[in-house]
């Protein structure tokens, strides 16, 4: 077994795709397992790299793991809260059943040959916190079907770790942002609807707070856990940059030269958490710290969208907007 040979699940989705590219850049041999759902990025091509191979498979249907892998990093998951409220079954199947299957496959390997299981979790498993910050030892109080299934997955990892001796590490991060994010997420959704001349819909009064982290900073944190972390430990990964959704939308509108009220309020979704906040002191001791800020990123992102749209040389304003949206979001 070699630590440089890793298995990544969900390597075509947002965070996983950034991690795969970083892993290849660092000299890892990457085996990517992905079923390529609607959330898969279409602008990626890792096939030209000799240190890469792809397995087209749902993690729920995987029958065996490749041999001689040092780490299994599980990004594969259904991840949008609104979708989880409408289709709980798919979230349970992927986020709980999929993790169960992966753990069972690891359990079936000789202990000395097993990969270390790295579960990519979320700060949402803690539930909201009105003051202070959640630390890794806090109890889990998920508030949505999505966060409940992610919390259940974490609990499976704990149970299989203790009962069967599977070595694991769990990473929990805040709201990720960055290039290639699904169009349903707040930042790309706001850009997409605004480019169409439409007002984005803001749940509730927009006052609920989240901690925002750049996707590459998060992936650097995951690598820190992989390369320097301890087995059977949890690591919170956050920038400590806290903003309300209203603040984020107004940042975007300002940089797009739109009125700050170019959105509309709609009824809040069920179980809306008021505030997420996690303490990342544990991983910072290992030498990790974030580099990007949300305020610094948004103008860079919009500039990149514009540059990509210009390369398409659209024949009309309508086509220009379509090109900008498609290539900026995906």
The whole domain housing 32 covers 2-178+214-237
Residue 281 lies in a domain: no
- What is the count of structural domains for the chain? 2
Question: For residue 173, which phi and psi values (nearest 5 degrees)?
Answer: -120, 170
pLDDT per residue over 135-158, tens digit each?
999 999 999 999 999 999 999 999
Whether 218 is covered by a domain: the verdict is: yes
Has residue 277 been placed in a domain? Answer: no
Residues 222-234 pLDDT 10s: 999 999 999 999 9
Q: Does a structural domain hold residue 106?
A: yes
Assess whether 196 and 143 both reside in one domain: no
Whether residue 278 is contained in a domain is answered as no
Q: The CATH number of the domain where 191 resides is what?
A: 3.90.25
Least confidently predicted of 252-261, 276-285, 307-316: 307-316
The CATH number assigned to the domain holding 59 equals 3.40.50.720
Query: Is residue 30 packed enough to be buried (19+ CB in 10 Å), middle (13-18) or exposed (0-12)?
Result: buried
Q: Within a domain: residue 280?
A: no
Are residues 9 and 131 part of one domain? yes
DSSP state for residue 132 in the 8-state scheme: S
Catalytic residue among 34, 124, 154, 211: 124
- CB burial of 78-102 (b: ≥16 within 10 Å; e: otherwise) equals bbebebbeeebeebbbbbbbbbbbb
74 touches 59 (CB < 8 A): yes
Of the candidates 236, 282, 272, the residue with the CA atom closest to the CA atom of residue 142: 272
In a domain, 284, yes or no: no
Same domain, 198 and 76: no
pLDDT average, residue stretch 11-23: 96
- Answer yes or no: do 126 and 255 share one domain: no
What is the per-residue DSSP string for 35-46? ---TTS-SS---
Longest dimension (CA), the chain: 62
State yes or no: is 220 an active-site residue.
no
User: Do 71 and 168 sit in the same domain of this protein?
Assistant: yes
146 is an active site residue: yes
Catalytic residue (one of 78, 123, 211, 216): 123
Query: Choosing from 146, 168, 235, 301, which is the catalytic residue?
Result: 146
* Domain shared by 148 and 263, yes or no: no
Decide: pTM greater than 0.85.
yes
* Structure tokens, 219: 């992936």
136 with 197, same domain: the answer is: no
**Residue 244 phi/psi, 5° resolution?**
-75, 160
**Residues 94 and 197 both lie in one domain:** no
* Domain shared by 298 and 317, yes or no: yes
260 among known catalytic residues: no
Beta-carbon-side half-sphere exposure of residue 54 (alpha carbons within 13 Å): 15
Q: Do 28 and 116 reside in the same domain of the chain? A: yes
């Amino acid at each position: 077994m070699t630590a440089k040979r890793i298995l990544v699940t969900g390597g075509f989705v947002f965070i996983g795709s950034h991690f795969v590219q970083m892993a290849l850049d660092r000299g890892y041999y990457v085996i990517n397992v992905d079923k390529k759902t609607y959330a898969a990025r279409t602008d990626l091509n890792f096939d030209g790299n000799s240190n890469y191979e792809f397995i087209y498979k749902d993690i729920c249907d995987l029958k065996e793991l490749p041999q001689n892998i040092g780490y299994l990093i599980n990004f594969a998951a259904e991840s949008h809260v609104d979708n989880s409220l409408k289709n709980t079954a798919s979230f349970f199947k992927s986020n709980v059943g999929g993790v169960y299957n992966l753990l069972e496959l690891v359990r079936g390997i000789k202990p000395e040959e097993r990969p270390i299981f790295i579960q990519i979790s979320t700060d949402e498993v803690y539930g909201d916190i009105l003051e202070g910050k959640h630390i890794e030892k806090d109890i889990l109080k998920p508030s949505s079907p999505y966060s409940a299934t992610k919390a259940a997955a974490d609990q499976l990892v704990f149970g299989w770790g203790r009962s069967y001796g599977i070595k694991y590490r769990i990473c929990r991060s805040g709201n990720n942002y960055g290039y290639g994010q699904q169009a349903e997420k707040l930042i790309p959704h706001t850009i997409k609807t605004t480019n169409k001349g439409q007002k984005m819909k803001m749940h509730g009064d927009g006052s609920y707070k989240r901690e925002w982290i750049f996707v590459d900073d998060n992936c650097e944190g995951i690598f820190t856990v992989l390369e320097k972390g301890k087995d059977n430990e949890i690591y919170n990964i956050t920038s400590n940059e806290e903003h309300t959704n209203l603040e984020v939308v107004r940042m975007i509108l300002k940089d797009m030269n739109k009125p700050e009220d170019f959105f509309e309020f709609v009824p809040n979704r069920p179980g809306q958490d008021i505030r997420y906040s996690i303490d990342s002191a544990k991983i910072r001791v290992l030498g990790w710290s974030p580099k990007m800020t949300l305020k610094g990123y948004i103008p860079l992102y919009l500039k990149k969208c514009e540059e990509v749209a210009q390369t398409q040389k659209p024949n009309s304003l309508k086509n220009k907007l379509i090109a900008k949206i498609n290539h900026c979001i995906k």
